[in-house]
Structure 1
Amino acid sequence: MKYQTPKYICAFIFLLLASCSSLPKGQPGEAAEQMTQRILAAADYEKWKATSAVTFVFRGDDRIFWDKKRKLIEVQFKKNLVQFSEITGKSLCFEGERRLTDECGELTAAAVKRFYNHTYWLNPAFHIDTPNAVRAIAEENKLLVTFKSGGATPGDSYLFTTDDEGKLSEMRMWVSTLPLKGARATFANYQKSATGVRVALDHKVASLANVNLTELQMFAVYPEAGKPDRFQGLLELTGGPGSESLNRKK
């Protein structure tokens, strides 16, 4: 008997193929820089730079707490909690209440990758004006951005589409971590944080995977007055943040 591929598998393959596309060519120059500034303004970039800290849950699993001002990060994933400093490179690792030492290097590496990936979804626009980013106008007045260095996966490219206000509405990705080249992601359900920064909480990738952010909170000041500092143990371990940064590249 001749085997027939189930219709749902055919539909799945069709969606995958439809999501693929070739990396377009772009034209750098004044038009690209003007579009960059329009996107940054719509992303509340100045308010983001003034935000002291942010926390959120990524896809209902990993929890991030990012102290932007002091460059201190906490990542909770599976049963692990990892804190690390972008300045000193030192880290603390726990499984429940038990501090881990031998496994901490490996866990920190995993936490750093999660941090780069998850915080990128807060708003990719926050990264388009970095020195390692090459910006160009591509098809239909869209902004093509290639990160030449830095981050977890240097060389990645993104094609951004905006709404009438300049907020990101769609992103196509040519990244080493995804097998689909040109995979499309949408941005929806923009909500304003306590510091005035709007964030899209809902994303759909390749019309299949949901990348949602929940429990989002931004802080104008952290640590908050009269409340404990979650990074006190890490600061005691590192001797406090210094003046040299490892530089968030992406």
Structure 2
Amino acid sequence: MKKIAKILGKFLLGIVITLLIVFTVLYLAYNEPVPQVSDSSKADVLARQMLTALNYDAYQNTRYLSWTFPGGHHYVWDKDQYNVEVSWSDVQVQLNLKKPNTSTVTINGKPYTNNDKTDYIETALSYFHNDSFWVVAPYKVFDEGVTRSIAKNEAGEEGLLVTYTSGGTTPGDSYLWHLDENGRPKGYQMWVDIIPIGGLYASWDNWQPMESGISLATLHSLLVLDIDIENLKAWN
């Protein structure tokens, strides 16, 4: 038994050391500090060009969006009513975005009668903040609490740096948008609280036209990871 425990200990130690080596290599290869910023007035012009390329007026008039995010998170979002149905596993939360504490929870198709439903509501809210960002982030550059500036990354590429000083689950996150010649996003670099490597690039690819008149990206590539947004719809 001791011999087996010793072998398992060495195996686990080997995994930890391997992971540390991989992280160190990735950190040295990709980590960048948040770039220096300049000219916020020019940034606002660039941000408006991006919104024009994405048909922002149609987005404002879009009432419903639905999609499935990796991990089995399903959403039906009523933008006008600030309500979103969030479901995963056997849980469904009718989430009120303005008054989360009034949200209702259903488990296995039955109303959750326990007085303490806070954990489910907070989980649903956290899922929605993260997962919806991968769907509609370009449309949020003029949200309240957002700052915009022009910045260059270490490769000398200029882009639109957007920082969320409030709101969401992790205020303080920054994104450097890289746009194509038409002003549409190609991807962004991220400086976010949940990722220890600053400046990682995630693509915004496979743009698809929606019924409401907007186009949305359904694929994001991040290092070796692909984030596929499935069943994505937007309509009125």
Query: What SS is found at the alignment partner of 1:40?
Result: helix
Amino acid at match of 2:234: M
Q: Secondary structure at the match of 2:38?
A: coil
More helix by share: 2
Who is 1:95 aligned against?
Answer: 107
Deviation of 1:86 (Å): 2.0
| Aligned amino acid, residue 138 of structure 1 | A
Match of 2:122 among 109, 132, 156: 109
Please give the alpha-carbon distance, in whole angstroms, between the structure 1 residues aligned to 2:104 and 2:164: 30
Q: Percent identity of the aligned residues?
A: 27
2:183 corresponds to which residue? 166
Which structure is richer in relative contact order (CA contacts within 8 A, separation 6 or more)? 1
Q: Match of 1:194, SS?
A: coil
Q: C-alpha separation between the residues in 2 aligned to 1:159 and 1:177?
A: 16
Is 2:168 aligned against 1:151? Answer: yes
Q: Deviations over 1:79-137 (max 9, x none)?
A: 21111212333111111112213352110000001111111111311111123111101
Q: Which runs of 4+ in 1 moved over 4 A?
A: 6-13
> Using a 3 Å threshold, how does the CA distance of structure 1 residues 142 and 63 change in structure 2: closer, same or farther?
same
Q: Which residue of 1 aligns with 2:204?
A: 187
Deviation at 1:60, TM superposition (A): 5.5
7 and 154 in structure 1: CA distance in 2 versus 1, 3 angstrom threshold: closer
* Partner Cα separation in structure 1 for residue 123 and residue 168 of structure 2: 13
Q: Structure 2: which 5+ residue stretches go unaligned?
A: 1-13
CA contact (8 A) 1:190 1:200 kept: yes
Distance 1:14 1:190 in 2: 32
Report the Cα offset of residue 72 of structure 1: 0.7
In structure 1, the residue matched to 2:45 is 34
Q: Over residues 49-74 of structure 1, what are the superposed CA-to-partner deviations in whole Å (9 max), with x where a residue is unaligned?
A: 10011000012510011100111111
Kindly indicate whether residue 137 of structure 2 is the aligned counterpart of residue 121 of structure 1: no
Q: Please show how residues 20-99 of structure 1 align to structure 2 within 5 Å.
A: 20-59=31-70, 61-89=72-100, 90-99=102-111
How far apart, in 2, do the equivalents of 1:110 and 1:9 lie? 30
Distance, in Å, in 1 between the alignment partners of 2:56 and 2:177 is 16
AA aligned opposite 2:104: L
Give the alignment of 1:2-21 within 5 angstroms.
14-21=25-32
Count the aligned residue pairs.
Answer: 216
TM-score (norm 2): 0.84
Q: Distance in 1 between matches of 2:23 and 2:119?
A: 35
